[in-house]
Amino acid sequence: RTESSVKPRGALIVLEGLDRSGKSTQCAKLLSFLEGLGHPTELWRFPDRETSVGQMISAYLSNKSQLDDHTIHLLFSANRWEKRSLMEEKLKTGTTLIVDRYSYSGVAFSSAKGLDIDWCKAPEIGLLAPDSVLYLDISPERAAERGGYGDERYERVEFQKKVADFYQTLRDSSWKIINAGEAMEEVEKKIQEVALDKVKECTKGKPLSLLWLS
């Protein structure tokens, strides 16, 4: 019978939050947790600085190049589109993807610069919608106290405050707000709970959907 040969799909789990909210730290922990339970899992990140588009983005972020605000926005979006078909293939063949930043970063950061929010969303329409968005919530002031802050273009407290406001306008039912000011182990446990629920839902046949259409 054909149904029994169809693999359960993987979950698309996105971590979002201000710079230094702890996303990369928690993505790595979640990867080993899900792998430890035997779920095929990969860790992805945006920007993906490995591609040629990603290298342009990386040069811009480290202030080695200057680009018009609209241009860099479209490059961030193109960087997600160039991975879209592989993303769908991975999910449909049963791999759960943990993604460090996604379209919400794209829209929140560019809108915070003053670009129109609907214009920012437009190129993201049709990308795969996450099954779960874990928003690591921390004040810009506390994030700034953490290691390495201030090295890249957007790492200024005033700007991060605007980004936080735009993130709030993007919240939908796929979001869970996680208090990222707690100890790493506490944050880790909360993320594990939500992620595991989602992985199970997807195994049971939760359909994939597309961004910004609902």
- Write out the residues near ligand T5A by the rule CB under 6 A: 17, 19-25, 46-47, 61, 76, 100-101, 105-106, 109, 146-147, 152, 154, 183-184, 187
Name the binder of 9 from ligand T5A, Na ion, none, CB < 5-8 A by kind: none
Q: How far apart are CA 102 and CA 149, in angstroms?
A: 21
Which residues are paired to 137 by β-bridges? Answer: 179
The distance of closest approach from Cβ of residue 21 to Na ion in the complex, given in angstroms and rounded to an integer, is: 9
- CB-based closest residue to Na ion: 24
The helices-and-strands tally (H runs, E runs) of the chain is: 10, 5
Name the binder of 29 from Na ion, ligand T5A, none, CB < 5-8 A by kind: none
Name the binder of 139 from ligand T5A, Na ion, none, CB < 5-8 A by kind: none
Helices 184-203/23-36 angle, 10° precision: 50
Which residues are paired to 98 by β-bridges? Answer: 13, 43
- Written as six digits, the tokens of 46 are 């945006």
Near Na ion by CB under 5 A: residue from 2, 7, 16, 24: 24
The distance of closest approach from Cβ of residue 5 to ligand T5A in the complex, given in angstroms and rounded to an integer, is: 36
Task: Outline where the chain has alpha helix (H).
Answer: 2-5, 23-36, 52-61, 69-81, 84-92, 103-112, 117-121, 140-144, 157-169, 184-203
Stretch that binds Na ion, among 24-32, 102-110, 119-127, 188-196 (CB under 5 A): 24-32
**Cα angle at 179 between 172 and 11, to 5 degrees?**
50
When the beta carbons of 31 and 92 are compared against ligand T5A, the nearer one is 31
Is the peptide bond prior to 47 cis by the omega test (within 30 degrees of 0)?
yes
The distance of closest approach from Cβ of residue 49 to Na ion in the complex, given in angstroms and rounded to an integer, is: 11
The distance of closest approach from Cβ of residue 79 to ligand T5A in the complex, given in angstroms and rounded to an integer, is: 7
The distance of closest approach from Cβ of residue 88 to ligand T5A in the complex, given in angstroms and rounded to an integer, is: 19
Residue 37, Cβ density class (10 Å: 0-12 exposed, 13-18 middle, ≥19 buried) = exposed
The distance of closest approach from Cβ of residue 152 to ligand T5A in the complex, given in angstroms and rounded to an integer, is: 6
When the beta carbons of 109 and 132 are compared against ligand T5A, the nearer one is 109
Interface residues with Na ion (CB under 5 A) are 24
